[in-house]
Amino acid sequence: MLVAAALCPCPPLLVPEVASGAAAELDGLRAACFDALGVLAAARPDRLVVIGPAEQAGRGPHPQGATGSFRDFGVATEVSLGAAERTPERPLPPSLAVGAWLLSRTDWADAPVEGLGVGEPLSPGRCLSVGREIAASSARVALLVMGDGSACRTVKAPGYLDERAEPFDAEVARALGAADTDALAALDEELAAELKASGRACWQVLAGAAQEGAPLGGELLYDQAPYGVGYFVAAWS
């Protein structure tokens, strides 16, 4: 059963070494992420799963001890999902590497943890099913859900300006803050893809997980669009 969830964006710029001289610009976002992770720790789960969008090579399960790096972003920083006796051969996708970096800065560094890379095109129905399977896997499950909102909030955004982006992000922020699983489940798959919202599938996996068991309450901790990309942080418990 799902007992808690933290929702964070997954830009590699969250890692100060990657952001370099611009690191201070996201200090508020990092602080909100750590606050959300504190809610996970307080819930005392017996299984923690980090979920994030992934390209084909990074999709599927990643066991404890899986490693990743930010070499593709110009720095040698390496991370791992907890500790393991041997290092799995398949590297973490960037979203899970960011999640692992966040966890490494908290008390979760040595706790049991695993990852799941989710394909952005995964259908809403399949996302909900995956979430239900995760929630049913243990008595006390917690999720760290990585994913960004639209990338079309300004003319300088990665996807340029799209007037549909702001209302899409506003509804996502509202749903995350209210732990509204029905609204998350109803997010338009095609619109999310057009707006380059990488978190859509992961949020719907969360919705499926949260539909099993007692309802959770939500709190929105961050809702801004630096660099024209919608970033949200929320905690459910």
Sequence-ordered list of residues with C-beta below 8 angstroms from that of 6, at least 6 positions apart, any chain: 33, 36, 37, 39, 40, 142, 143, 144, 145, 233, 234, 235, 236
Res 87: pLDDT: 66
> What would the pLDDT profile of 170-212 be if each residue is shown by its tens digit?
999 999 999 999 999 999 999 999 999 999 999 999 999 999 7
Domain extent, residue 60, equals 2-236
Summary mean pLDDT of the chain: 94
Does 85 score more than 70 pLDDT?
no
Q: What is the CATH number of the domain that holds 41?
A: 3.40.830.10
Contacts 24+ apart (CB under 8 A), 82-87: 82/108, 82/109, 82/110, 82/111, 82/112, 82/113, 83/110
Checking if the pLDDT of 17 tops 80, the result is: yes
Q: Over 60: is that where the pLDDT of 44 sits?
A: yes
Task: Report how many helices (DSSP H) and strands (DSSP E) the chain contains, helices first.
Answer: 8, 9
pLDDT computed for residue 107 by the predictor: 77
Pick the range with the lowest mean pLDDT from 126-130, 151-155, 171-175, 211-215.
Answer: 211-215
- Residue 109 pLDDT greater than 60, yes or no: no
| Cα atoms in the Cβ-side hemisphere of radius 13 Å centred on 182 | 1
How many structural domains are present in the chain?
A: 1
Residue 110 has pLDDT above 70, yes or no: no
